[in-house]
Structure 1
Amino acid sequence: MKRNIALPSSIGVLTLLSMLTISCNKQEIKLADKSTDLGSSPSVTTSAIANPRWSVTGKLFEQGAAGSFESVAVKDPSLVYDGGRWHVFYTGTDGNQWKMGYVNSPSLFDMKSEPRRFMNSLNGGGYFCAPQVFNFPAKGRWFLIYQSGLGATYSTNTSVSNYGGWAAGKGMGFNDGIDFWCIADNSYVYCFYSAQDGSKTIKRRRTTIANFPNGWESPTIVATDTFEAPHVYRNKADGKYYMMVEDIGRYFELWTASNLNGTWTKVSETWAAKSNLTERNGHWTDQVSHGEILRSGSNELMEINNIDRCEIFMQGVVNGSYSSYIRIPYDLGLMQNF
């Protein structure tokens, strides 16, 4: 995300029943050769739990070495599980500019030891950040959606693991917001994003699958009195869509709708917040900020098994007197509500 503000599955990682064993203290994980769904099979539920209890690991991924593009912070993660590895795209900053990086690992708990890649081919003019990654089988391509000097931006690749294969970023034809997030149904692709005009609203555009990633309709406001980073998922457990949105107090609201083109209703103001979060490996965050729910697949449908049994790879930091937003030293950890 890029904000000028005043400072104030396919697979689960922490619980996979017999397919997964974890030692939290050692921060190690063993994955089966074939990934499985999060937790048990989806169960029928009428609505999401408004204020679940959350727990979070310690820091799993931290800022890079001095002089690197990510020497101050790593943030805004988006990830998929493919080919036996987690593929994580993220924003990095040296305190001067927003850029993007990539890392892959068999385990989110082992990412610190893996090589980090600076995604320079994605440069969209001045800055590039806040990625979303997914596979679009109908297009025969992997997509990265992100924000840059071009506004809403996309890049494509034939393999998510080929970090050097991403095409140069291209604009999607609109630039009236930040934190762009795409999700499809059977006919359309929708893009949700946060306005950058001070209105504290979430906007939605759509285009046909045939025209994606171009041909977007005019925007519609779908949520008000909120802030940024809307992430929308289809919940298999009840067939509804859920949108988590970060409010300015650095916590996640939860909204729901019966379809992507429908009316959105707030489920909870503080669905995931410091007030209902337990830190399991020492204090490292006062915020529950920009994160991605671990999906049950990697495609454009953005599906999760159960909103009440989910994990979020999120950014956090201890509050302090930082000189500007771009100087806040965010790190990444994994939280769960079961």
Structure 2
Amino acid sequence: MLSSLLCVAPATIALPAHAQIRTGQAAAVEASSAEPLSSVPTLAQPTEGNSRFQWSSTAPLILPKPDAAHQLVAVKDPSVVYANGKFHVFMTTAGPQGWGLAYTSFRTWREAQGARLTFLDRSGIGPGYRAAPQVFYFAPQKRWYMIFQGGDPLYSTTSNIDDPLSWSAPKPIFATVPDVVKGDDGRPVWLDFWVICDDSRCHLFNTGDNGRLYRSETSLHDFPRGFGNMQVVLNDTRDRLFEASMTYKVAGAGAYVTMVEAIGPKGRYFRSWTSDRLDGSWTPLADSLADPFAGSGNVDYPGGRWTLDISHGELIRAGNDQSLTIDPCNPLRFLHQGVDPRADASDYLNLPYRLGLLTAARQNPISAMCRTKRDTNPRTNAQR
């Protein structure tokens, strides 16, 4: 998403932190010109042959739906939970007026395109710069939490996920900015905040568009207060460890998996690592351009390729609580953002991002962690 340095007058923001956005898009734009993506072999066909993960993509399922008060051109950064018989999707909106948050819900993915958007500036969250939501049910308090960025990390809560206008006014997670995320000028460089809890502690991960993944922690009892001990847990070059980290518990495997978005020559992609504990060291899983977790080279588009980017999103979880558990015994699904590579990449705020759904198309290093009889149909639940 955007760095906290950009949280001023959203409609007129300059975007220095994303001046390199065209790193993964410019070549594609120049190569494709006005041709449809499907007619450009170098873009339409996967280019990497060593990927252990393989995916199949839908067309865009969640689209921007402006109204009289919201001039948006993009929906981005989805967080999705399944509760009360519905998928609940929270997302960033972007357009000439700046950044905000929206919500939609539906019972099956076939209904997603027709589902209406509710803009969360009408809730207690209010207007202003809000972006990159993450939503989960915090079982110890019997409350839903939304973690998001408004410059610094913020949270809001509700007891009723079905009422998008019930979210509370935002509160800060940190009383002061940790020194480790301050840049050379003393200003904070942190974004895309992600909380996951184990049996005793809650851990907050974040990136900074600077090649670093950070982690801080608090006790399960004190959450959402008391976060501290922030440290760098992964360190690489800027483009190889960029933003939008997500971390999950793998059910029955005694393992966690984390993914971080990177910038490649053919668009955004995700690298991945595993660990046996959230405060442990991270071992590469599928962490290269040739063998990514998900990227332009290992995704098939049966209906026609609509993007080269596998960017900021969320896996569909097996539950909805603070453990953020995924089930390796069923095909992974990944709701993500993508954009037509021919779009004008000079104005990041107005890039026309859409949300599409990936489904794992074969066994992979995460499905290999399944300890029970697995479902052998890779498309099971793809349209649930």
Question: After TM superposition, is the score higher than 0.5?
Answer: yes
- RMSD over aligned Cα, in angstroms? 1.9
Deviates more, 1:54-63 or 1:261-270: 261-270
Pair 1:125–1:65, CA change in 2 (3 A)? closer
CA distance in 2, matches of 1:102, 1:307: 29
Matches within 5 A, 1:95-114: 95-114=96-115
Structure 1 partner of 2:205: 192
Q: How many residues align?
A: 295
Q: Which amino acid aligns with 1:285?
A: T
Q: Which amino acid aligns with 1:223?
A: L
| 1:328 and 2:351 are equivalent in the alignment | yes
Q: Which amino acid aligns with 1:204?
A: R
CA distance in 2, matches of 1:185, 1:56: 32
Structure 1 runs (4+) deviating above 4 angstroms are 122-125
Matches within 5 A, 1:77-226: 77-120=78-121, 121=123, 123=125, 126-149=128-151, 151-173=152-174, 176=188, 177-195=190-208, 199-225=210-236, 226=241
- Higher Cα Rg, which structure: 2
Counterpart secondary structure, 2:112: helix
Deviates more, 1:241-250 or 1:321-330: 321-330
* Greater per-residue strand proportion: 1
Pair 1:307–1:327, CA change in 2 (3 A)? farther
In the TM superposition, what is the alpha-carbon distance from 1:50 to its structure 2 partner? 6.2
In the TM superposition, what is the alpha-carbon distance from 1:107 to its structure 2 partner? 1.3
| 1:312 and 2:334 are equivalent in the alignment | yes
Q: Are the equivalent residues in 1 in contact too, given 2:51–2:298 (CA < 8 A)?
A: no
Aligned with 2:257 (options 242, 249, 259): 242
Structure 2 partner of 1:16: none
In percent, how many aligned pairs have the same letter? 34
CA distance in 2, matches of 1:68, 1:110: 25
Counterpart secondary structure, 2:293: strand
* Greater per-residue helix proportion: 2
Pair 1:122–1:328, CA change in 2 (3 A)? farther
Structure 1 partner of 2:297: 275
Which sections of structure 2, spanning at least 5 residues, go unmatched? 4-16, 23-49, 178-187, 362-384
In the TM superposition, what is the alpha-carbon distance from 1:267 to its structure 2 partner? 1.4
Q: Which amino acid aligns with 1:263?
A: S
Aligned with 2:308 (options 286, 305, 308): 286
TM-score (norm 2): 0.73
Residues 58-98 of structure 1: CA distance to partner in whole angstroms, max 9, x if unpaired? 11111223655362100100011111111110001123411
Deviates more, 1:177-186 or 1:213-222: 213-222
In the TM superposition, what is the alpha-carbon distance from 1:216 to its structure 2 partner? 0.8
Q: Which amino acid aligns with 2:110?
A: F
Q: Are the equivalent residues in 1 in contact too, given 2:125–2:168 (CA < 8 A)?
A: no
Counterpart secondary structure, 1:246: strand
Counterpart secondary structure, 1:210: coil
In the TM superposition, what is the alpha-carbon distance from 1:325 to its structure 2 partner? 1.5
TM-score (norm 1): 0.83
CA distance in 1, matches of 2:230, 2:126: 22
In the TM superposition, what is the alpha-carbon distance from 1:324 to its structure 2 partner? 2.0
Structure 1 partner of 2:7: none
Pair 1:137–1:123, CA change in 2 (3 A)? closer
